Amino acid sequence: MEWTYVDEYEKLLFRMSSPRVMIDNASCADATIVMIDSARKHGILLEAVQVLTDLNLSIKKAYISSDGRWFMDVFHVTDLDGNKLTDESVLNYIKQSLGTIHYGRSKSFEGLTALELTGTDRVGLLSEVFAVLLNLQCNVVEANMWTHNGRIASLIYVNDNDSGSPIEDSQKIDRIEAMLRNVLKGDNDIRSAKTSVSLAVTHTERRLHQMMFADRDYERKPRIKTCDESLVVAVQNCLEKGYSVVNIQCKDRTKLLFDVVCTLTDMQYVVFHATINTAGDRASLEFFIRHLDGTPISSEAEKQRVILCLQAAIERRASQGVRLELSTDDRLGLLADVTRTFRENGLNVTRAEISTTMDRALNVFYVTDALGNQVDSKIIESVRQKIGLSKLTVKELPLIYHQKAERDEAPMGAGGAMLLSLGSLVRRNLYNLGLIKSYS
């Protein structure tokens, strides 16, 4: 009887602590409403937003509120075409994932070795990195690279080219770190260039934010103008309620809310209430925050640091330059060859997303000229001729509300600047996670 009582008590605790998720497709005409009711815990808001953004869903509106020890989050979401979610496999995955966020969810990189790189950005740097890895018989399976204010942060997942196993030989790891550090140092970055081998337990994009934050990119002078000159971040104290209020006005884009919440969470602030609205290509975000100990921001210097850090978090992912998509059969040396072609034609990679699925390379590069300006279309076409016109394609960045307006003459702010692509990106992500058999 005693063991039965313990089992029932544990079940009760499990039910009380597990988030309750409801999905409503009837109340709103142009969005699916996702509601989460859960016990309050530091970081749980970030985990919820991460689930939605990892599926490339657009968050049109959001309302976050806490009452004592409980949170209620309401998200208005659409797919990248601005439509409500109707696919049952997507809805079920969302409900299942949000219902287990207390226990953490992150993409598995089992069998891979994670390399973390930070340093000074320069034209051709990514090409040199991939060339070194090729010479060391490292196969790049997945990688992400961001640049901001003249700095670069990259997380690269590799395995041994010969065996396909993770790289565990300590001497080889030391050699990889030393050679990559020499590449990152260049001529004038002796102190700040860093390389390390990570356990890869942190969400990739969150880790990139952490790496750039640790590199203090937010304090460095911008080398080129930001994509959004209308970006405004303000912080005020609401003394009667004991909160600090953060207001953000900027261009809307995919994963904007994730980038902001990620930064606040990693700076050890707790979001108690928040309102997020989008209209056209603009986003308005308001957060009521406190420190973990329950106190608001205490000084003007701290206010300015929060402002700078949030501005940097929003700018890091902002799309600068032409978006090039590479889709081809994966092979040894592919990335080294492609990025060398970029370098030889004076293209600077400002952001990169590298992935391999079923022996197929699906890579995205954002490129500018050496000064951060738009690349001449003739140079882009020359690069495409060398790499393969059918392999490397140029993707425009139309605003989703323009696309919707063309269909029904009613503009809507359903997610900012994003790409239209063949098929559903949500279904592709479910396919990559092994949750459905096909996304075609």
Average pLDDT over residues 99-105: 65
In this prediction, residue 227 carries a pLDDT of: 62
Give Cβ neighbours of residue 146 (< 8 Å, ≥ 6 apart): 152, 153, 154, 208, 212, 316, 317, 351
Kindly indicate the confidence band of residue 399, based on its pLDDT and cuts at 50, 70 and 90: very low
Pick 159 or 3 by higher pLDDT. Answer: 159
- What pTM, to 2 d.p., does this model score? 0.84
Residue whose tokens read 């140079």: 379
Q: Would you call 204 helix, strand, or coil by DSSP?
A: helix
Share of residues in the chain with pLDDT > 90 (%):
65
In this prediction, residue 69 carries a pLDDT of: 79
Average pLDDT over residues 331-359: 95
Give Cβ neighbours of residue 232 (< 8 Å, ≥ 6 apart): 247, 248, 249, 250
Pick 74 or 408 by higher pLDDT. Answer: 74
Beta bridge partners of 65: 72, 273
Q: Would you call 22 helix, strand, or coil by DSSP?
A: strand
In this prediction, residue 190 carries a pLDDT of: 60
Average pLDDT over residues 272-280: 95
Kindly indicate the confidence band of residue 94, based on its pLDDT and cuts at 50, 70 and 90: very high
Q: Is the pLDDT of residue 167 over 70?
A: yes
Kindly indicate the confidence band of residue 113, based on its pLDDT and cuts at 50, 70 and 90: very high
pLDDT digits (tens, 9 = 90+) for 198-222: 766 689 999 999 999 999 999 987 7
Q: Which two tokens stand for residue 92?
A: 């079920």
HSE-up of 172 (CA within 13 Å, CB side)?
16
In this prediction, residue 225 carries a pLDDT of: 61
Q: Are 152 and 128 in contact (CB under 8 A)?
A: no
In this prediction, residue 426 carries a pLDDT of: 43
Domains of the chain: 2-106+224-316 (no CATH), 113-198+320-395 (3.30.70.260)
Which helix (H) or strand (E) element contains residue 139? Answer: strand 138-148
Residue 97 CB coordination number (10 Å): 20
pLDDT digits (tens, 9 = 90+) for 350-370: 999 999 988 899 999 999 999
Residue 50 CB coordination number (10 Å): 23
Q: Is the pLDDT of residue 250 over 80?
A: yes
In this prediction, residue 176 carries a pLDDT of: 95
